[in-house]
């Protein structure tokens, strides 16, 4: 079996021990320039250019053709996408899956709509990898990963929702309340796969405490945690230390957001995916 793991770039390009992941890039687009969210993108430079650029900006999901190219060469495709509640990426992947099966009738393709993004997609990729290593067959893997998604969650602390509002992915009223200096919005990916703002916190310290409390409320009890951040190593490490103090045995990693998540989470943003 030649199995391939495929994800759109909102999963933040991370590596697995013994297997490659093929990433399908989203794009970040301004009046002046188009950024492709691949491994060559310099996200810091992109954010600096975006903050200087007065005009509009937005994003675009991959097309079916991009997903199709990524599937090429596999007889089994295990894919994962950003939430269909905010992006067309999942739909494009489903169209591509259909076309791939037409081209190669023996091929098996499964795409999971995470109703989430970023580090929660990382947890899913790790789960696919684990199940393959355990020698599970295609149907078992699909069933188990769907079940796993009931036990993974995404919460966040963001200092700005400007880019969400600009793209009509959150209401202007919600975005405005966060724009105030020093205010962080803490919330989660809703069951529908949209942004749900839950608390406004004054200052990062309070926001980080709020994240820990939210994890406990949502049933975290020592499972895996994946933290990603947009140029906020300090905040992410401080959160990691607070968690380690409570659950010393936990499996935790901290890594940077890449292009797409950096664009929406903006400077200082922290995303936390965890198992319940």
Residues near ligand X90, by CB under 6 A: 26, 59-61, 82-83, 86-89, 116-118, 154, 156, 169, 189, 193, 195, 261, 264-265, 271
Judged by beta carbon, residue 74 or residue 201, the one nearer ligand X90 is 201
Judged by beta carbon, residue 130 or residue 253, the one nearer ligand X90 is 253
Judged by beta carbon, residue 138 or residue 274, the one nearer ligand X90 is 274
Q: Checking DSSP bridges between strand 76-81 and strand 195-202, what pairing results, if any?
A: unpaired
Judged by beta carbon, residue 130 or residue 190, the one nearer ligand X90 is 190
Judged by beta carbon, residue 138 or residue 156, the one nearer ligand X90 is 156
- The distance of closest approach from Cβ of residue 116 to ligand X90 in the complex, given in angstroms and rounded to an integer, is 5
- The distance of closest approach from Cβ of residue 83 to ligand X90 in the complex, given in angstroms and rounded to an integer, is 5
Judged by beta carbon, residue 143 or residue 177, the one nearer ligand X90 is 177
Contacting residues for 52 by C-beta, under 8 A, at least 6 apart: none
Nearest to 204 by CA among 123, 268, 258: 268
- The distance of closest approach from Cβ of residue 132 to ligand X90 in the complex, given in angstroms and rounded to an integer, is 27
Q: Checking DSSP bridges between strand 21-24 and strand 3-8, what pairing results, if any?
A: parallel
Nearest to 121 by CA among 258, 267, 268, 269: 258
């Amino acid at each position: 079996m030649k199995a391939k793991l495929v994800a759109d770039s909102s999963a933040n390009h991370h590596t697995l021990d013994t297997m490659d992941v093929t990433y399908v890039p989203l794009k970040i687009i301004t009046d002046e320039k188009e950024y492709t969210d691949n491994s060559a993108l310099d996200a810091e430079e992109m954010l600096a250019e975006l903050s200087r650029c007065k005009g509009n900006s937005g994003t675009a999901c991959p097309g079916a053709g991009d997903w199709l190219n990524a599937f090429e060469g596999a007889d089994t495709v295990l894919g994962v996408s950003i939430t269909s509640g905010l992006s067309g990426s999942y739909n494009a992947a489903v169209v591509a899956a259909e076309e791939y099966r037409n081209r190669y009738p023996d091929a098996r393709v499964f795409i999971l709509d995470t109703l989430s993004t970023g580090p929660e997609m990382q947890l899913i990729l790790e789960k696919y990898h684990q199940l393959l290593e355990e020698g599970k067959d295609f149907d078992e893997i699909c069933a188990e990963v769907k079940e796993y998604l009931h036990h993974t969650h995404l919460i966040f602390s963001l200092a700005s929702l400007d880019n969400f509002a600009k793209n009509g992915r959150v209401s202007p009223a919600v975005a405005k309340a966060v724009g105030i200096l020093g205010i962080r919005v803490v919330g989660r990916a809703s069951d529908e796969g949209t942004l749900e703002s839950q608390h406004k916190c004054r200052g990062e310290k309070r926001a980080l405490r709020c994240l820990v409390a939210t994890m406990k409320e949502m049933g975290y009890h020592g499972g895996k945690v994946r933290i990603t951040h947009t140029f906020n190593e300090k905040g992410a490490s401080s959160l990691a230390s607070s968690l380690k103090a409570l659950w010393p045995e936990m499996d935790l990693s901290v890594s940077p957001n890449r292009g797409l998540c950096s664009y929406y989470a903006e400077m200082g943003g922290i995303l936390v995916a965890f198992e319940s």
